[in-house]
């Protein structure tokens, strides 16, 4: 008797308007707790809101085609020239642009097991062969096995640091040892969508890595720690020669005016970012403590989500859904006993934990 839309949940729930989702569930919108898409549960910076509210009244002109002012702001933040940055519609667009730049039929892309589902999609769209490499026993990317899979047709390797959905991370030493062995005609895309959440002492010096390796591109986003998922804005950092190629496939005006302004304002509001990181650390500790008390295994405390082993993941996700709590099942990752929960506010985490305890 499970409605079809519940079965199809993973495909569309993250983008369904909350009002509609609530109506489908027979609940009030305020009863819905979205812990499914690793968004910022605290919303967005007030300074960003003020900036966009004003700009929203003036949208008759085209936006800056290359997001120059955002490039400038990034250049100032990171101390690298402006042409080391490309601004994209979410980091998702950058993943696709990088694939289009280097992949085609006859070439292959290497993707670790338990990676973000968009990687194989963008690579397949370019006609490339996908080489999925089994993870290590602790669910991390197996860098040695990845090296063994490289051949003369390999053009792209995706690595996520920290990883979604396992929350595992790669150390700077592991990354450098690995890059030293990767041929220079293979582009390595480090997807750092969640890097802000990784403890400072565990963060690799990505800028030094990009400066040293011309075949590396770092993908970052404003969707997670900065709370701007709805704006669709992300960026890449790489040497200008590589970005020049990527820019050939990027459409001009790919990022709208409001999103460019929102991202610039978000970069300036360091206080909002720090508060988000502090809240997230507290939320991670709250969830981990409760999982320990329940005797549940979990992975990854280095991001804004935890993936936890609950038994029949799909069943738990379905039961939580009836109560309006939306979390992610892991069947598509071949981890049917696990669910992924985004760190919410303290109250949202409490509600989720109460319901989970009851179900277990």
Return residues touching ligand PMP (CB under 6 A). Answer: 38, 90-92, 116, 160, 164, 191, 193, 221, 223, 229, 234
| CA distance linking residue 14 with residue 304, whole number of Å | 16
Q: Give the CA radius of gyration of the chain.
A: 20
List 189's β-bridge partners, or say none: 158, 217
State how far the Cα of 177 lies from the Cα of 158, in Å rounded to an integer. Answer: 16
Closer CB to ligand PMP, 206 or 323, in the complex: 206
Specify the residue, 227 or 313, whose C-beta has the smaller distance to ligand PMP: 227
Q: Shortest gap between Cβ of 314 and ligand PMP (angstroms)?
A: 20
**Alpha-carbon dihedral angle through residues 245, 250, 252, 257, given to the nearest 10 degrees:** -120
Which is nearer to ligand PMP, 87 or 102 (by Cβ)? 87
As given in the structure block, the two tokens for residue 139 are 């669910």
Give me the phi and psi of 298, to 5 degrees please.
-150, 160
CB of 229 to ligand PMP, least distance (A): 5
Q: In 10 A of CB 214, how many CB atoms?
A: 14
Closest approach of ligand PMP to the CB of residue 72, in Å: 21
Contacts of 1 (CB under 8 A, 6+ apart): none
Between residues 13 and 193, which has the closer beta carbon with respect to ligand PMP?
Answer: 193
- State the nearest-atom distance from the C-beta of 321 to ligand PMP, in Å: 19
Q: Looking at beta carbons only, is 191 or 257 nearer to ligand PMP?
A: 191
Beta carbon of residue 223, minimum distance to ligand PMP (angstroms, whole number): 3
């Amino acid at each position: 008797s499970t409605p079809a839309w519940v079965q199809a949940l993973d495909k569309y729930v993250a983008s369904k308007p909350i009002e509609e989702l609530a109506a489908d569930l027979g609940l009030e919108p305020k009863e819905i707790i979205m812990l499914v898409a690793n968004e910022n549960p605290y919303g967005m910076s007030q300074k960003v809101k003020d900036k966009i509210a004003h700009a929203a009244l003036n949208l008759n002109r085209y936006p800056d085609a290359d997001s120059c002012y955002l490039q400038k702001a990034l250049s100032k933040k990171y101390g690298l020239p402006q042409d080391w940055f490309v601004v994209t519609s979410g980091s998702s667009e950058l993943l696709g642009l990088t694939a289009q730049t280097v992949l085609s039929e006859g070439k292959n892309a290497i993707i670790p097991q338990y990676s973000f589902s968009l990687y194989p999609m963008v690579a397949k769209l370019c006609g490339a062969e996908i080489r999925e490499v089994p993870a290590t026993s602790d669910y991390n990317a197996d860098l040695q096995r990845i090296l063994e899979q490289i051949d003369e047709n390999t053009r792209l390797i995706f690595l996520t640091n920290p990883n979604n959905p396992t929350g595992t991370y790669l150390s700077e030493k592991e990354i450098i040892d690995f890059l030293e062995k990767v041929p220079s005609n293979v582009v390595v895309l480090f997807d750092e969508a969640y890097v802000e959440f990784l403890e400072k002492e565990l963060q690799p010096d990505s800028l030094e890595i990009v400066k040293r390796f011309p075949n590396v591109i770092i993908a970052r986003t404003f969707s997670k720690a900065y709370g701007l998922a709805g704006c669709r804005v992300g960026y890449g950092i790489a040497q200008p020669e590589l970005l020049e190629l990527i820019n050939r496939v990027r459409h001009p005006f790919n990022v709208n005016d409001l999103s460019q302004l929102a991202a610039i304002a978000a970069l300036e509001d360091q206080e909002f970012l720090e508060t988000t990181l502090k809240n997230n650390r507290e939320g991670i500790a709250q969830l981990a403590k409760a999982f320990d008390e329940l005797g549940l295994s979990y992975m990854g405390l280095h991001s804004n989500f935890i993936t936890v082993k609950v038994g029949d993941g799909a069943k738990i996700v379905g039961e939580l859904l009836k109560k309006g709590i939306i979390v992610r099942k892991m069947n598509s990752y071949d981890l049917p006993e696990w669910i992924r929960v985004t760190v919410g506010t303290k109250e949202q985490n409490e509600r989720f934990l109460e319901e989970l305890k009851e179900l277990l």
